[in-house]
């Protein structure tokens, strides 16, 4: 926001424009102002006017002759000719010789016109331009004069500020932050004992889990001003500007203490300094300044810094050491109960019609973040409006989960009967393999209505409760389930399609993780072959082993997946009748619920 915006045209352009205007004004307009009344005529006219005694006054200058008519209204000008008897003739014609047909402009006016006026115009234009540019780029901070000032947004609390009650779930994080609120309310209690509040608190977690909301809620609960700024706003085009912004932010914060300073996406400035040549000087200087500022202010002065990031591992260790961001509050994806609460909080903002089972909806939306849940509720409301209803219903919520996860229904995607049958078999294959391995309902619902995300069919998994550990068998079963779709195609049609691309990817990822990360292979025992980077952003892994080892890992991955694929085929073969029956059911109805599935399976 506060990056140095160059105005659309550089400032110099406007100054040049003014200069050119001035030069033109002086060159063209100025002479004309004084000589506006002069009409140029040829020498013949002058002679004939002399003969006809029509000349009133005459003035012979070094290079021209100026004369007026008898009334003295019009001034004429003509060139100077070699004409020896001119003076006599003029005298005889009764013309009056004059020295000042054209009155000299008063020197004061002259100075005014050629010096003062231009300067005035200059200043006026300058003023106008500055005002216009400031307005167009959003306030007084945008121009060069204000570079390096922080423009942290200040939210002075009002009664409708965000409170902890607005942030659903996240009980651990709230509990942790409640202490800060208490401190901001009654600092004496802490000072008496000599306890120091942490200066900085780092909120870490995946995107959309409510980190920003929590920070605002702390300020809302404590009823103190809230300064918010994103890490990337510090990083400027010019070295040193970010640092001066940090200084400015802290200066403002100290003036307003007690208050909360919130730095979003702190990894933008807080990345590890790697000391390489040609590193990002600006970022490093900004970080250094932040470190200095954090050291500089006394604990217990009422300024609490909250920062959010989804890449805590990339932060500079100097930033996370005690005395700086020494407390880390994880803000994780919500569990079932958390999801239900978040749905309820957001459902209050829309009109609901009829009974809604939020638990069921939460169960269906497994793995969704707070932001996604908010989106689901909003989609439901939009759907109700689209259908001309007065409020959102359970069905709206359920459909919008699918919209948020899998995209809108494709209204005019026409699958051939054969394709539809293959998709049915594929989806039933997954579900059947899963059901036979665990002996429980594996899915909420399966549909084969194509979605805009490209999915031709869609299986909504059953929430497996809060599950923190997975055994080797469970992972193997999961891989078998992933291969179940393709296995069903093979069993039923004896051919394969492209539909399994995503399953293949996921199965491979799991198998690789088993071997390289979870120590679940005989050969590699408990040796880590890959490291996870970006834990909160998809959890990519990078290999950390030699090329030969990689080859062996690849071989094992293939073996592992192959074994599970064979297992899936065996399960489906053994249940061939049920597979046919279920596929037919799904083919006819296009949607099958978990209960219907189990009924047919056990029937």
> Does the annotation mark 427 as catalytic?
yes
Stretch that binds ligand ADP, among 65-73, 99-107, 186-194, 208-216 (CB under 6 A): 208-216
Per CB under 6 A, 330 contacts ligand ADP: no
Q: Return the number of the residue (302 or 370) whose C-beta is nearest ligand ADP.
A: 370
Task: Find the binder of ligand ADP among 49, 65, 95, 168 (CB under 6 A).
Answer: 168
Is residue 213 close enough to count as binding ligand ADP by CB under 6 A? yes
Rule CB under 6 A: say whether 370 interacts with ligand ADP: yes
Tell the burial category of 243 from Cβ atoms under 10 Å away from its Cβ (0-12, 13-18, 19+): buried
Q: Which two tokens stand for residue 2?
A: 């506060």
CB 319 within 8 A of CB 293: no
| Of the candidate residues 253, 261, 308, 404, the single one contacting ligand ADP (CB under 6 A) | 308
For residue 374, state whether it binds ligand ADP (rule: CB under 6 A): yes
* Closer of 263 and 561 to ligand ADP (Cβ): 263
- 212 is a contact residue toward ligand ADP (CB under 6 A): yes
Which member of 221, 427, 489, 490 is catalytic?
A: 427
Does residue 161 belong to the site contacting ligand ADP (CB under 6 A)?
A: no
Residue 208 vs residues 217, 239, 383, 397: alpha-carbon distances, Å: 15, 32, 23, 19
Q: Taking the complex as a whole, how short is the minimal distance between the CB of residue 535 and ligand ADP, in angstroms?
A: 15
The answer to whether residues 69 and 56 touch, using CB atoms and an 8 Å cutoff, is yes
**Alpha-carbon distance 588 to 458, whole Å?**
16
- Tell me if 311 sits within 8 A of 536, measured CB to CB: yes
Using rule CB under 6 A, residue 228 touches ligand ADP: no
Options 246, 345, 480, 601; binder of ligand ADP; rule CB under 6 A: 345
Among 170, 396, 398, 530, binds ligand ADP (CB under 6 A): 170
201 touches ligand ADP (CB under 6 A): no
- Asked if 312 interacts with ligand ADP (CB under 6 A), we say no
**534 DSSP 8-state letter:** -
DSSP 8-state secondary structure symbol assigned to residue 114: I
> Which ranges in 10-96 belong to alpha helices (H)?
11-24, 30-35, 43-51, 86-93
Q: Could you tell me how many residues make up the chain?
A: 603
Secondary structure (DSSP) of 488-506 = HHHHHHS---GGGHHHHHH
Stretch that binds ligand ADP, among 162-170, 356-364, 379-387, 480-488 (CB under 6 A): 162-170
CB of 451 to ligand ADP, least distance (A): 23
DSSP letter, residue 476: H
Interface with ligand ADP (CB under 6 A), residue total 17
Q: Which sign, positive or negative, has the C-alpha torsion 296, 301, 303, 308?
A: positive
Distance of CA 33 to the CA centre of its chain: 58
Which residue in the set 169, 200, 499, 594 belongs to the binding site for ligand ADP (CB under 6 A)? 169
**Least distance to ligand ADP, CB of residue 203, Å:** 8
Which part of the chain contacts ligand ADP (CB under 6 A), choosing from 104-112, 163-171, 227-235, 431-439?
Answer: 163-171
Query: Taking contact as CB under 6 A, which single stretch among the options 67-75, 368-376, 382-390, 573-581 is the one that binds ligand ADP?
Result: 368-376
> Apex CA 437: angle with CA 434 and CA 440, to 5°?
70
C-beta separation of 464 from 335 below 8 A: no
CA distances from 427 to 352, 397, 442, 564 (A): 33, 23, 12, 17
Contact segment (CB under 6 A) with ligand ADP among 205-213, 422-430, 524-532, 542-550 equals 205-213
167, 304, 392, 511: residue in contact with ligand ADP (rule CB under 6 A): 167
Active site residues: 427
Site residues (vs ligand ADP, CB under 6 A): 167-170, 207-213, 308, 342, 345, 370-371, 374
């Amino acid at each position: 926001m506060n990056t140095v915006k160059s105005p659309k045209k550089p400032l110099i352009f406007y100054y040049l424009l003014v200069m050119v205007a001035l030069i033109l004004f002086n060159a063209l307009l100025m002479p004309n102002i004084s000589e506006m009344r002069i009409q140029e005529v040829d020498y013949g006219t002058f002679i004939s006017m002399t003969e006809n005694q029509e000349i009133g006054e005459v003035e012979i200058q070094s290079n021209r002759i100026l004369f007026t008519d008898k009334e003295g209204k019009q001034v004429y000008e003509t060139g100077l000719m070699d004409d020896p008897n001119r003076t006599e003739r003029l005298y005889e014609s009764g013309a009056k010789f004059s020295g000042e047909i054209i009155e000299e402009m008063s020197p004061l006016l002259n100075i005014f016109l050629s010096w003062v006026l231009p300067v005035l115009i200059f200043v006026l234009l300058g003023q106008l331009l500055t005002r216009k540019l400031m307005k167009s780029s959003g306030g007084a901070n945008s121009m060069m004069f204000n570079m390096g000032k922080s423009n942290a947004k200040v939210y002075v609390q009002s009664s409708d500020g965000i409170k902890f009650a607005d942030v659903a779930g996240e009980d651990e994080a709230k509990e942790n932050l409640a202490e800060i609120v208490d401190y901001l309310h009654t600092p004496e209690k802490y000072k008496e004992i000599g306890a120091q509040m942490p200066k900085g608190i780092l909120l870490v977690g995946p995107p959309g889990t409510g980190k920003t909301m929590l920070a605002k809620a702390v300020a809302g609960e404590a009823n103190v001003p809230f300064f918010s700024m994103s890490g990337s706003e510090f990083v400027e085009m010019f070295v040193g500007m970010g640092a001066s912004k940090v200084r400015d932010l802290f200066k403002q914060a100290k003036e307003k203490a007690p208050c909360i300073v919130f730095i979003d996406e702190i990894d933008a400035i807080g990345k590890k300094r790697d000391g390489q040549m040609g590193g990002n000087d600006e970022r490093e200087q900004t970080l250094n300044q932040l470190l200095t500022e954090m050291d500089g202010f006394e604990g217990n002065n009422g300024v609490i810094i909250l920062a959010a990031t989804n890449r805590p591992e990339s932060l500079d260790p100097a930033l996370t050491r005690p005395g700086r961001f020494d407390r880390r509050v994880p803000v994780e994806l919500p569990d079932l109960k958390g999801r239900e609460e978040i749905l309820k909080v957001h459902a209050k903002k829309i009109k609901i019609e009829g009974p809604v089972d939020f638990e069921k909806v939460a169960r269906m939306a497994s793995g969704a973040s707070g932001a996604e849940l908010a989106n689901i509720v909003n989609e439901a409301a939009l759907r109700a409006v689209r259908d001309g209803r007065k409020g959102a219903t359970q069905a709206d919520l359920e459909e919008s989960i699918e919209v948020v996860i899998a995209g809108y229904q494709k209204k005019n995607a026409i699958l051939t009967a054969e394709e539809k049958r293959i998709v049915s078999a594929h989806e039933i294959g997954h579900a059947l393999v899963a059901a036979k391995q665990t002996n429980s309902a594996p899915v909420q619902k399966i549909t084969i209505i194509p979605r805009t995300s490209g999915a031709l069919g869609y299986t909504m998994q059953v929430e497996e409760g809060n599950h923190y550990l997975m055994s080797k068998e469970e992972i193997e079963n999961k891989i078998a389930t992933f291969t179940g779709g393709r296995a069903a195609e093979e069993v039923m049609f004896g051919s394969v399609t492209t539909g399994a691309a995503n399953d293949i990817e996921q199965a491979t990822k799991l198998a690789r993780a088993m071997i390289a990360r979870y120590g679940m292979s005989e050969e590699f025992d408990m040796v880590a072959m890959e490291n996870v980077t970006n834990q909160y952003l998809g959890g990519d892994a990078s290999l950390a082993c030699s090329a030969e080892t990689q080859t062996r890992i690849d071989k094992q991955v293939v073996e592992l997946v192959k074994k599970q694929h064979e297992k899936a085929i065996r399960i489906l073969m053994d249940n061939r009748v049920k597979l046919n029956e279920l596929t037919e059911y799904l083919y006819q109805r296009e949607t099958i619920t978990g209960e219907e599935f189990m009924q047919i399976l056990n029937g």
